């Protein structure tokens, strides 16, 4: 399995990302994809394999969650923005919830979903292994806001074409059953329950223990 092709050189990519801004959805999804592809190596990025990697590598779930929370914050801010910009790409919501769902399957019991109030999409989307669109040319005269708009349009246009990467809720439920996750729920994002907060502390402590034991 090869990493998704960046549509620019490494040096250009770093410069361009700094110009686009930290909130750009493309950058965050690409970062998550790359983390998964590094551990997958030559395995296909199926939901099952992604869950296995999250279970195999103790520190990976918390790293993915950290990036996801930033993605959720950016999505929420655009979703609730009263300005002239369009709503954030629906495909971003589909990617966001796919990643949260597989985290819940891999490490059940914790609060993985963002505390931002974001309703679930009608279906989720697995972007791992796809080329995440990064606009080839960013006009230096454009504002950071316009850069984000250009990147969002590229996401709207390109990712939904990959129909086979949409993931049915029933597929996720079956995967949870396969891994023995009891009472698995496909939840929206929102404030954590007391049980989820306790679970989050347990998962964090367990992660530190597992990482300490790793060679």
Mean pLDDT by 10 residues, the chain (215 residues): 41 37 73 96 96 94 93 87 70 96 90 88 96 71 74 87 96 96 89 62 55 54
Per-residue pLDDT at 204: 58
Smallest Cα–Cα separation from 79: which of 201, 192, 196, 188? 188
Q: Which two tokens stand for residue 208?
A: 């530190």
Which DSSP category does 129 fall into? Answer: T
- Residues 126-143 pLDDT 10s: 999 999 877 655 667 777
Domain ranges within the chain, ordered by starting residue: 10-213
**How far, in Å, are 5, 202, 206 from residue 88 at the CA level?**
24, 34, 35
Q: Which two tokens stand for residue 189?
A: 């994002």
Asked if 127 contacts 75 with a C-beta cutoff of 8 angstroms, the reply is: no
């Amino acid at each position: 399995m090869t990493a998704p092709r960046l549509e620019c050189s490494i040096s250009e990519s770093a410069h361009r990302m700094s110009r686009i801004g930290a909130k750009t959805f493309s950058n965050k999804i690409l970062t998550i994809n790359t983390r998964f592809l590094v551990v997958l190596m030559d395995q296909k990025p199926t939901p099952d394999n992604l869950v296995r990697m999250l279970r195999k590598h103790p520190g990976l779930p918390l790293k993915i969650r950290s990036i996801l929370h930033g993605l959720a914050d950016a999505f929420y801010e655009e979703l609730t923005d009263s300005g002239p910009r369009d709503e954030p790409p629906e495909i971003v919501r589909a990617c966001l919830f796919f990643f949260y769902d597989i985290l819940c399957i891999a490490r059940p019991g914790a609060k993985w979903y963002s505390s931002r109030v974001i309703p679930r999409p009608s279906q989720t989307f697995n972007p791992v292994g796809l080329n995440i669109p990064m606009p080839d040319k960013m006009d230096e005269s454009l504002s950071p806001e316009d850069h984000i708009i250009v990147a969002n349009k590229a996401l709207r246009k390109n990712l939904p074409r990959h129909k086979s990467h949409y993931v049915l809720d029933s597929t996720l439920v079956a995967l949870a059953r396969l891994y023995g996750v009891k009472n698995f729920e496909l939840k929206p994002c929102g404030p954590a329950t007391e049980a989820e907060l306790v679970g989050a502390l347990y998962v964090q402590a367990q992660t530190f223990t597992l990482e300490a034991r790793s060679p």
